[in-house]
Amino acid sequence: MLVRNLLVAIIIGVFAFSVIPAFAQSQSLLSVSSSKSIYTEGETIVISGTVTTVIGETPVTLQLFHQGNLVEVAQLNVANDGTFTKTILAQGPLWKNNGEYTVRASYGQGVVAEATFEFATKQAMVETTDRFEVDAGTSGTFDVEYSIKGGTVKNMLIDPDIYALITVIDSTADGAITLKLPRESIDAKVNICNGSDDVFIILIDGVEVTYSEKDTNSASRTITINFEEGDSDIEIIGTCVVPEFGAIAALILAVAIISIIAVTSKNSLRMRI
């Protein structure tokens, strides 16, 4: 019985070792990495790696991919100590796309290792500061100061039905936009348009995201929203927005209420007479 149990244990052990994933094994035989995690256009990308067992003059095949598309391919000689290196200048027609790039190294039969890095064009890294004139319907227009990195602002418009300022962007890379929101035009309060400040609801292409806020005062609130490459519509939803709750609209509403009270009082007086 003891011998039988021992044989079963040996068989299980052998089976466990035999099902170790081939990729995990290959990673122990081959490694690859980039010198930095983020590169910008014009920089030199340095890719290096090591093989544990040098097989004669067998080269390392290096491939560089972006979203499944092959950007670069090369065969590298392996030094006697098992190391290899490749430098790539990140500029030219093949370097117009921002985002994650995958380095894939292969050596011999089925030995593969991968690494990734982020890349951004110079245009994507430029920060633009400007102001946008927003059409507020019957309340005229108001300006929103903004700065954006990773894209451009195409439009800003008011959606009074949901108390929102919608900012339409063309995002060429992961980035951020900072907006200085005038309180008299859009705000978020605990009690509609009165009381203490409340949080805005921020949606990017229909998905709620977080934001940061700084430099808040009695006249404006400044918020920063991060976005990803390809994002388009940013909805900033508050509790009050022009033209419904702007200063002009409030004045017109007040005058209308006073007029109604005056007419009602006058009619009531006539009825008594």
User: What would the pLDDT profile of 36-51 be if each residue is shown by its tens digit?
Assistant: 988 988 999 999 999 9
6: pLDDT strictly greater than 70: no
pLDDT bucket at 127, cuts 50 / 70 / 90: confident
pLDDT in tens, 188-215: 999 888 889 999 999 999 999 999 999 8
User: Are 102 and 174 within one domain?
Assistant: no
Separation of alpha carbons 171 and 168, rounded Å: 9
Domain CATH code at residue 154: 2.60.220
Domain boundary (91, 122, 153) is at 122
Beta bridge mates, 158: 165
| Between residues 258 and 199, the one the model is more confident about | 199
User: Are 241 and 138 within one domain?
Assistant: yes
> What pLDDT score does 269 carry?
45
User: Are 50 and 93 within one domain?
Assistant: yes
Tell me the average pLDDT of the chain.
83
Q: What beta strand segments (E) does 22-126 contain?
A: 30-34, 38-40, 44-51, 60-66, 69-76, 83-89, 99-107, 111-120
> What pLDDT score does 69 carry?
93
Residue 261 resides in a domain: no
User: Are 42 and 108 within one domain?
Assistant: yes
pLDDT bucket at 80, cuts 50 / 70 / 90: very high
Separation of alpha carbons 184 and 198, rounded Å: 15
Residue 45 resides in a domain: yes
| Between residues 175 and 61, the one the model is more confident about | 61
| Between residues 86 and 174, the one the model is more confident about | 86
> What pLDDT score does 110 carry?
87
Residue 176 resides in a domain: yes
User: Are 218 and 242 within one domain?
Assistant: yes
Domain CATH code at residue 89: 2.60.40.1930
User: Are 180 and 159 within one domain?
Assistant: yes
Instruction: State how beta strands 141-159 and 164-182 pair.
Output: antiparallel
User: Are 145 and 168 within one domain?
Assistant: yes
User: Are 213 and 173 within one domain?
Assistant: yes
Separation of alpha carbons 213 and 224, rounded Å: 6
User: Are 113 and 35 within one domain?
Assistant: yes
> What pLDDT score does 243 carry?
65
- Least confident residue range of 9-23, 44-58, 103-117, 148-162: 9-23
Mean pLDDT, residues 160-171: 95
pLDDT bucket at 121, cuts 50 / 70 / 90: confident
Domain count, the chain: 2
> Taking the CB of residue 144, how many other CB atoms lie within 10 A of it?
21
Mean pLDDT, residues 150-171: 94
Residue 237 resides in a domain: yes
> What pLDDT score does 58 carry?
95
263: pLDDT strictly greater than 60: no
User: Are 117 and 132 within one domain?
Assistant: no
Residue 77 resides in a domain: yes
Task: State percent of the chain over pLDDT 70.
Answer: 78
Range of the domain at 109: 25-122
User: Are 166 and 98 within one domain?
Assistant: no
Rg (CA), the chain: 32
Instruction: State how beta strands 220-227 and 60-66 pair.
Output: unpaired
> What pLDDT score does 193 carry?
86
Residue 15 resides in a domain: no
Residue 7 resides in a domain: no
User: Are 241 and 178 within one domain?
Assistant: yes
> What pLDDT score does 14 carry?
42
